[in-house]
Amino acid sequence: MAWLGSTFWDIMDNRPVIVFDGLCNFCNGAVNFIIRRDPEGVFAFTPMQSDFAQGLIAQQQIKNVGVDTFLLVKEGECYVFSSAALEIARDLTGYWYLFGVFRFLPAVLRDFFYKLFARNRYRLFGKRTSCMVPSRETRGRFVD
């Protein structure tokens, strides 16, 4: 996995990377939501099902990662579940940073509701048979 380490960060231009479930309709909608509110292209994306994401997870030594795990690697730190969502909201245009007030709730409580939703997202929103194909305009923001 030669693309990890300093080569990885050179390729990504030190951008934060969001790892998401590429088969989940809700997750793909969330990625599109983030893209629309990130006009500067701060974030890069990779589906959980990609080799790149698996290598990144191994590099960051994240334990117990499943397709229901939403994560963000930013400035060498890894955020998972609700903490990842709140950290992303901080950098979006508009008033999304206001969701930061939820940081005062214990992560255990926030993540309980996150995981409850994550377990039911396929049933609520459906599932694709293959990962999304980014548009021409956004292709450069996706890895793998």
- The answer to whether the Cα torsion of 13, 18, 24, 26 is positive or negative is negative
pLDDT tens readout for residues 83-118: 999 999 999 999 999 999 999 999 999 999 999 999
Topology annotation, domain 6-141:
Glutaredoxin (3.40.30)
pTM exceeding the 0.75 threshold for the entire prediction: yes
| Amino acid 65: pLDDT | 79
| Amino acid 66: pLDDT | 76
Record the tokens describing residue 35, joined without a space.
């893209």
| Amino acid 61: pLDDT | 83
**How would residue 1 be classed by pLDDT, with cut points 50, 70 and 90?**
very low
Q: Taking 90 as the threshold, does the pLDDT of residue 68 lie above it?
A: no
pLDDT tens readout for residues 13-59: 678 999 999 889 999 999 999 999 999 999 999 999 889 998 888 88
Least confident of 21-25, 28-32, 65-69, 123-127: 65-69
Q: Taking 60 as the threshold, does the pLDDT of residue 9 lie above it?
A: no
The candidate with the shortest Cα–Cα distance to 81, out of 123, 129, 27, is 27
* Mean pLDDT, all residues of the chain: 86
Neighbour tally for 107: CB within 10 Å: 15
